[in-house]
Structure 1
Amino acid sequence: MLTALPGLRPTLLDTLRHYNRQLFRQDLMAGLTVGIVALPLAMAFAIASGVPPQAGIFTAVIAGFIASVLGGTRLCVTGPTGAFIVIIYGIVLKYGVANLIICTFMAGVMLVIMGLLRLGQVIKFFPMPLITGFTNGIAVLIFLTQLKDFFGLPIDKMPAGFFAVMDLLRITLPQFDPLTLAISMASLLLILFWPKRLGKTLPGPFVALILATLTVALFELPLATIGSKFGGIPQGLPGFHGLSFDPEHLSDLLAPAFTIALLGAIESLLCAVVADSLTGDKHDANQELIAQGVANMVVPFFGGIPATGAIARTATNISNGGQTPVSGIVHAVLLLLVILVAAPLAAYIPLAALAAILISVAIKMGDWDIRKAAQFPRQDTAVLAITFALTVIFDLTIAVEIGLLIAAVFFIKRMAASTSVQQLKPEHAVLYERHSIAGKHVPAGCVAYRVEGALFFGAADTVEQIAQEAPEARVIILQLHRLVLLDTSGLLALSALNQRLAQQNRTLVICGAGTEVTAMIRSAHLAEEMGPRNIQPDLTTALQRAEEVLISGVVWG
């Protein structure tokens, strides 16, 4: 069944071929540890997103299980993540929880389509400064939205929008609750300074959650808890709920759904790349997108929220000895057992502890080393700074769109600047005999040029000047062996140059083009336009063709 769809080949199938008891023991211990890490995070992410805590646990159970079974990675762990908090919260405020569920399903469909269309390499189109920029921006927004519960501020619900949040915090911050701040600060310090050697078996966030819960319960402290805010977590399996589509407002949900899908794809593939770097594996990006899509299509029917690959939980899985996708399945089963057995105890968990956990996530998920930005090229630093500012002030969609546009413009400028046309002269050093001008005779009336770099829409005008540079030359040779890219604009520029020279009874000869460039020249019928003998394999034959034209006067042939 798992191999029925074209291109669907889950990694789990390959790992189960040689599965044994030793591998299961390693997966079991890693999965249990990841489950302990995921429990407080799943609840905290859900609450911060504006939905009940059980929505986060249900998502971690269902999405974690499906992605492990169908995924294209060996050790990635899927669940709700901090990157989605701001997006989900905004959707809930604007459209409501019911439409968030629709958006999640639509995003899942988009992810499956992306996988089936082999768009798994989409991560390559997002430069790292852009990813760092919006990740840092999301971290700042998570930090700001958690100050309400961290300080115990008298705020019912945080507004959407950076300036609205800052204005509300300015007004209410003096009204903080000292007892809440004491619990949240103690929890945060414990998480940040928890020994790494202990963190492998007993994660800091879990310890902070347990200690804070025991403190509040034993001393009956008057703090906001999951029980006082949400009435606790229901005990039992999540119920199945159908989706209610509203055709009139479906188009309004396309943009937020695409934002979820885009971020889900980026986060999942980044997580897979990180896992590969830690293990030496090679993930199947398209298979991973399909798995993430299916997971996000299923969780809405059980009240879940968007899910994606979680880098921190994946790293925990790897560092604790996980070997196969079974460890991800174990993590999901453990969370399911928590719902079935220990759900009533969650009512005593203080929101201050969950806020501390999320603030620690925000601190760790950002890259705050300013020295790195100083080492970047200025253009990349500008992309990072602009994307960061737009994410914080507006939203992720605008930030990614404008950030990509600016990055593309800078890239085009750099590519255009690297493209050059140089006249070949006998004194040039010998690099490759076939393509070097050294030792070769350039007949009178002929000029040879080398085109280097990319001849594309941003640099096509570089060949236009050639006709004016050597007005006395009857034959102009363009050597293309160092041409790394040719697009339609470049082809049109070559065609225009050939036509201009032909009108002046002059000849253009192209030589040294690589296999791909030659194929493009022939498929565009430029070879027919120029004449087949004016397309030569190397400089030697091109010079011979030039002598032939100069002697015979036949410019086409």
Structure 2
Amino acid sequence: MNQDWQLARTRLAARTLPRRSDYAGLRRSWRGDLIAGVTVSVVALPLALGFGVTSGVGARAGIITAIVAGIVAGFFGGSNLQVSGPTGAMTVVLVPVVAQYGPSSVVVVSIMAGIVVVAVGLLGMGRLVNYIPWPVVEGFTFGIGAIIFLQQVPLALDTTAAAGENTAVVAVRTLAATAWPDALPALGVVLLVIATMLLITRVRRTLPASLFAIVAATIVAHVAHLDVRTIGALPAILNAPHLPSTDLETVRSLVSAALAVAALAALESLLSAQVADGMADDIPRTQPNRELVGQGLANIASGLFGGMPATGAIARTAVNLRSGAHTRVAAITHAVALAAIVLAAAPLVAQIPLSALAGVLIVTALRMIDLRTARSILRSTRSDGLVFALTAFATMAFDLITAVGLGVLAAILLALRALARASHLDRVPVHDTEVSTEDEHQLLSEHIAVYRIDGALFFADARRFLDELLEVTDVHVVILRLKNVTMLDASGANALSQLVQDLARHHVAVLVKGLRPEHRHVMASVGVLAELERRNHLFVDLDTAIEHARKHVRRAQAAIDTA
């Protein structure tokens, strides 16, 4: 017992703890990793500030989260490319929590959610993300890319965002209310950043195009005295970690909020990592359970330092990848650079135009909106196209959890529909070695009908088979061939049970041939197996079943003649 426990603990540690192989190839990639980390830190800075303010916990909490969660998740997480921190999706969950319980509750929620996510990772549930269909993942990516693009409209126009909660609505309202002459300098900065990034990428993809673009835009804005908003003064950060003072009643009241945050943190992080895996060619794949453990620890640490919940951030992760990152050193560097910027280079960073950051994120968003992939999915099958479109639309219209939930649900329903349509009930003729056409006519003249069920017999289609079989006329015995039934659930077994009972009331006996061993248990659970065995109506080969059916018909005919 102790050996088993020791072995299980060793395997768990191997799956979830950092290891030396995390930094394989660092000797070749360290320069690119450092540059990518610094580049991401510049992009992450205003996002951390903005998400902190939007959530209602303040800019300082946003910065703390980006630094602490970025380091912890980068070190313990399961992805080499993932960059973690506060995200827009998380603000949607946190705003009502702050409104109801106050800003201090967010620290407690972050720690509680982190514990839940760690537990989920240790239980090995991270691989469930592999069951999310590809059209759902691509729809989510497409939708997130569109949201990131639309979120940049106020920054790109250097104006205040219009009122509203939906990103698309806010973007449209902002465009309608914009004083365009005042927005021209900011638009010029955006175009300069986009052009610089595209030009540098074309010259050499390994260069940090976004960093060069931001530096160029900042210099031009300063030299030309452009009237554009800048990042501005940065708040002081980082105190010693401490447990929040709270009581048991408060903890109980925050359980539902913590579970919602945990679900979002796990789902967004895994999907973000999966998207990053799809964008990278030569990077080791994400270890989902370890990623959950790392994100959970990041949330706990963020709460202890006074921050807010964090997830894997797909926009920053995409920037990290596009800037040349190869190992997790880039993500850790991003967090360290953020701290260094806030502590040492705040005056310089304060001069960066917000519209320059909008330009970087617009390019990132457009790269995420993969029209070629979208076209491929839409042309594949109607079902996949519908799932993709639904997920993308729901991501933009609602939130990530709703979008993924709707996408997966639609995929399941459409898959069940296709599976049900692929299943069918055939009455003889069955042109195979078991029943010949001559046998068929002979059997029909003897009031015996042979049916074969192919495919799945389950809840989505069981009633159809039952209704078809109940339509038989002038038949005394029905032989059901179940050898080709590939799936049988309780609903399908119950339908067979009802069929036996309903046909018996019409004086029609049901014989079953070829029941698979793996289906016996479910047949027994609904009671029909015992009834078939009691009547000797369960057969292995068709010849025996037909002979029994003929005896049954003769007995029934004799009973009628005697009467």
Q: Does TM, normalized by the shorter one, top 0.5?
A: yes
**Which runs of 5 or more structure 1 residues have no equivalent in the other structure?**
431-435
Aligned partner of 2:359 in structure 1 is 356
Alignment CA distance shift 1:252-1:313 (3 Å): closer
Aligned partner of 1:544 in structure 2 is 544
Map 1:406-421; keep pairs closer than 5 Å. 406-421=410-425
Aligned partner of 2:497 in structure 1 is 495
Aligned partner of 1:264 in structure 2 is 268
Aligned partner of 2:368 in structure 1 is 365
Aligned counterpart in structure 2 of residue 346 of structure 1, from 339, 343, 349: 349
Aligned partner of 1:208 in structure 2 is 213
**Given residue 306 of structure 1, which amino acid in structure 2 is its aligned partner?**
A
Separation of aligned partners in 2, 1:183 and 1:311: 20
Map 1:418-437; keep pairs closer than 5 Å. 418-428=422-432, 437=435
Answer whether contact 1:510 1:542 (CA < 8 A) is retained.
no
Q: What displacement does 1:35 show?
A: 1.1
Corresponding position: 1:80 with 2:85:
yes
Separation of aligned partners in 2, 1:63 and 1:170: 38
1:497-534 CA distance string (max 9 Å, x none): 12223444544333434443334324444321321754
Alignment CA distance shift 1:249-1:14 (3 Å): closer
Aligned partner of 2:241 in structure 1 is 240
Aligned partner of 1:461 in structure 2 is 463
Aligned partner of 1:307 in structure 2 is 311
**Which runs of 5 or more structure 2 residues have no equivalent in the other structure?**
1-5, 557-563
Corresponding position: 1:291 with 2:294:
yes
1:154-184 CA distance string (max 9 Å, x none): x277642343552243112435333222222
Aligned partner of 2:114 in structure 1 is 108
1:285-343 CA distance string (max 9 Å, x none): 333323222222322333255221648747966995846x5665566555555555545
Aligned counterpart in structure 2 of residue 447 of structure 1, from 441, 446, 449: 449
Q: What displacement does 1:459 show?
A: 0.3
Q: What displacement does 1:69 show?
A: 4.0
Map 1:117-266; keep pairs closer than 5 Å. 117-153=123-159, 155=160, 159-161=164-166, 162-174=168-180, 176-195=182-201, 198-200=204-206, 202-217=207-222, 221-227=226-232, 231-232=233-234, 234=236, 239-240=240-241, 242-243=243-244, 246=250, 250=254, 253=257, 257=261, 260-261=264-265, 263-266=267-270
SS in 2 for 1:177: helix
Answer whether contact 1:27 1:322 (CA < 8 A) is retained.
yes
Aligned partner of 1:433 in structure 2 is none
Separation of aligned partners in 2, 1:327 and 1:140: 26
SS in 2 for 1:240: coil
SS in 2 for 1:531: helix
Answer whether contact 1:101 1:300 (CA < 8 A) is retained.
yes
TM-score normalised by L of structure 1: 0.79
Map 1:50-89; keep pairs closer than 5 Å. 50-51=52-53, 58-73=64-79, 75-80=80-85, 84-88=87-91
Alignment CA distance shift 1:393-1:268 (3 Å): closer
**Given residue 429 of structure 2, which amino acid in structure 1 is its aligned partner?**
K
Answer whether contact 2:513 2:545 (CA < 8 A) is retained.
no
Structure with the greater alpha carbon radius of gyration:
2
Q: What displacement does 1:495 show?
A: 1.1
- Taking only aligned residues, the RMSD between alpha carbons, in angstroms, comes to 4.1
Number of equivalences: 532
Separation of aligned partners in 2, 1:117 and 1:160: 36
Answer whether contact 1:522 1:528 (CA < 8 A) is retained.
yes
Separation of aligned partners in 2, 1:327 and 1:134: 25
Answer whether contact 2:152 2:362 (CA < 8 A) is retained.
yes
SS in 2 for 1:422: strand
